């Protein structure tokens, strides 16, 4: 009924204008209708309310599952604990005499070290530490290998190059106050990827004097226990920062 009344009022106004138009200037029916509706603001507003909803929402609201809400609560708790941890808040200061430049890119699990020594370029890739919690191992076992397995350690890849020629590549493990060489190979930059290069014997199979000489070789170039002990603490702090960033990225994804 209300709609019919609106139309009747609009039609009445239009009729008057049509009569006037027939006598005066020639105007189109659509122009007359538009003018009538424009002048009769009450009718215009009622028509708008009738035909056009005041608000349109074409996107359905996605309700987050309760399991996701529980997950977010747990993630928030983990973020809080990570932000309050000593490892996250502690910033390792580079000690005096540290011979390498450190490149630490957020989001990566490794850092890179670089230095020049008597025309050589020395690069080191330091991996996230393998932390020992003390849950495993036999206290009565005095074997050296088992003792090392019960210690936290760092994995290192050390390369020594001279210009554009061959380079030496060492695979090392750094324990507290000790560095072991696990592998040694000579890399040819011009070798094809399809070729299988000879990697040499296992390092532990080399003559003991040769093993000792290579340990001294790396120590002179800066890879000594004082260096790796600092790197161990540095990487623990980095691991805490990366874990916190990882948690926050998880939260962002769940909230989307």
Q: What is the mean pLDDT of residues 34-59?
A: 50
In a domain, 157, yes or no: yes
Task: Write the secondary structure of 181-200 as one string of H (helix), E (strand) and C (coil).
Answer: EEEEEEECCCCCCCCCCCCC
CATH of the domain at 100: 3.10.280.10
Considering the domain architecture, whether residues 93 and 7 belong to the same structural domain is answered as no
Q: How many residues does the chain have?
A: 256
Angle 2-23/29-39 helices, nearest 10 degrees? 120
Summarised one tens digit per residue, pLDDT across range 131-182 is: 876 655 455 545 556 666 678 999 999 999 997 788 999 999 999 999 999 9
What does the alpha-carbon distance between residue 176 and residue 225 come to, in Å, rounded to a whole number?
Answer: 7
In a domain, 58, yes or no: no
Between 82 and 124, whose confidence is greater? 124
Which of 63-67, 102-106, 108-112, 116-120 has the least mean pLDDT?
63-67
Considering the domain architecture, whether residues 40 and 87 belong to the same structural domain is answered as no
In a domain, 59, yes or no: no
- Nearest C-alpha neighbor of 243 from the set 93, 92, 130, 83: 83
Residue-level pLDDT at 232: 93
Considering the domain architecture, whether residues 156 and 102 belong to the same structural domain is answered as yes
**Tally of domains within the chain:** 2
Considering the domain architecture, whether residues 224 and 111 belong to the same structural domain is answered as yes
Considering the domain architecture, whether residues 141 and 222 belong to the same structural domain is answered as yes
Considering the domain architecture, whether residues 93 and 208 belong to the same structural domain is answered as yes
In a domain, 60, yes or no: no
What does the alpha-carbon distance between residue 96 and residue 120 come to, in Å, rounded to a whole number?
Answer: 22
Considering the domain architecture, whether residues 109 and 220 belong to the same structural domain is answered as yes
Summarised one tens digit per residue, pLDDT across range 55-107 is: 545 444 568 888 889 999 999 999 999 888 876 667 678 988 899 999 999 99
Considering the domain architecture, whether residues 173 and 102 belong to the same structural domain is answered as yes
Considering the domain architecture, whether residues 150 and 230 belong to the same structural domain is answered as yes
Considering the domain architecture, whether residues 39 and 162 belong to the same structural domain is answered as no
Residue-level pLDDT at 230: 94
Range of the domain at 176: 82-246
In a domain, 185, yes or no: yes
In a domain, 203, yes or no: yes
């Amino acid at each position: 009924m209300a709609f019919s009344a609106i139309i009747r009022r609009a039609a009445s106004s239009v009729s008057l204008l049509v009569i006037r138009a027939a006598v005066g200037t020639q105007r189109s029916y659509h122009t007359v209708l538009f003018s009538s509706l424009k002048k009769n603001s009450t009718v215009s507003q009622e028509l708008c309310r009738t035909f056009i909803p005041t608000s349109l929402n074409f996107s359905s609201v996605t309700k987050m599952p309760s399991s996701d809400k529980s997950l977010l609560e747990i993630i928030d708790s983990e973020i809080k604990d990570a932000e309050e941890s000593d490892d996250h808040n502690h910033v390792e200061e580079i000690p005096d005499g540290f011979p390498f430049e450190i490149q630490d890119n957020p989001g990566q699990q490794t850092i890179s070290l670089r230095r020049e020594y008597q025309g050589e370029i020395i690069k080191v890739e330091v991996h996230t530490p393998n932390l020992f919690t003390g849950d495993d191992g036999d206290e009565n076992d005095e074997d050296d290998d088992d003792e090392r397995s019960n210690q936290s350690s760092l994995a290192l890849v050390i390369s020594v190059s001279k210009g554009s020629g061959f380079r030496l590549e060492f695979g090392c493990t750094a324990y507290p106050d000790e560095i072991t060489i696990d592998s040694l190979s000579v890399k040819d930059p011009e070798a094809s990827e399809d070729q299988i290069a000879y990697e040499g014997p296992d390092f532990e199979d080399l003559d003991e004097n040769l093993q000792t000489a290579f340990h001294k070789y790396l120590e002179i170039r800066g890879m000594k226990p004082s260096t790796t002990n600092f790197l161990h603490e540095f990487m623990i702090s980095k691991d805490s920062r990366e874990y916190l960033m990882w948690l926050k990225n998880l939260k962002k994804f769940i909230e989307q």
